[in-house]
Amino acid sequence: MSWVVRAPERELRKHEKKLYTRVRRVLWDYEPLRASHAEIFIDVDDQHVRLRGRVRTLPQKLIAEAMVRRMSDVESVTNELIADPETVRAVADALAQDDRVAPYVLRVDSRHGIVTLRGEVPSADLQSVAVDIAARVPLVSSVRNQLAVGGEVQTAIALARPALEADEPNPEALSTTRA
């Protein structure tokens, strides 16, 4: 896969074509984005720019928006880019919420929306369940199944949420640790 910027979906007016070309150039000149083989769709409507597609990292997503936002003839930027860590998090959360696969340690990786599942589950049925759960996550374009079948069946364990007090800093504890 190489750097891909898709053509606009509609015919652009003259000033929109110029803006599209400038935005494309600004993004192309950012080496980490270009080197990551990002796929970006640039939509231009008057002076409004919308970025869609996939990037490898959250900083790339934020930097792409910031670079376009700094352009003098851009009035607004809508950033709909999806970073791989967002996809990983969404899949991991979906797997953790399903009692059938939650007890197993499954590794989730993503590259441009293609999710790879690794780990060990005790049956082909659970392997299929995990793949189906991952495939239903909206940010996922496809799933590569590298799950191994084997190992022992684990019972689901419900963990209680820590008390709210655990989330709040304890001033006394802070003062003793600084001494």
Range of the domain at 98: 85-149
Q: How many angstroms separate the CA atoms of 82 and 122, rounded? A: 33
Domain boundary among 82, 117, 138: 82
Please check whether residue 42 lies inside any domain of the structure.
yes
Whether residue 32 sits in one domain with residue 59 = yes
Please check whether residue 16 lies inside any domain of the structure.
yes
Whether residue 129 sits in one domain with residue 108 = yes
Domain boundary among 82, 100, 129: 82
**Reported pTM:** 0.77
Please check whether residue 157 lies inside any domain of the structure.
no
Token pair in block for residue 141: 């374009």
Q: How many angstroms separate the CA atoms of 42 and 21, rounded? A: 10
Tell me the CATH number at 36.
Answer: 3.30.1340
pLDDT tens digits, one per residue of 86-127: 999 999 999 999 999 999 989 999 999 999 999 999 999 999
| Mean pLDDT per 10-residue segment, the chain (179 residues) | 61 86 92 89 92 94 96 94 96 94 94 95 95 96 95 64 60 53
| Amino acid type, 53 | G
Conformational region of residue 79, where left means phi above 0, alpha means psi within -120 to 50, and beta covers everything else: beta
If DSSP codes are grouped into helix, strand and coil, which group holds residue 56? coil
Whether residue 126 sits in one domain with residue 114 = yes
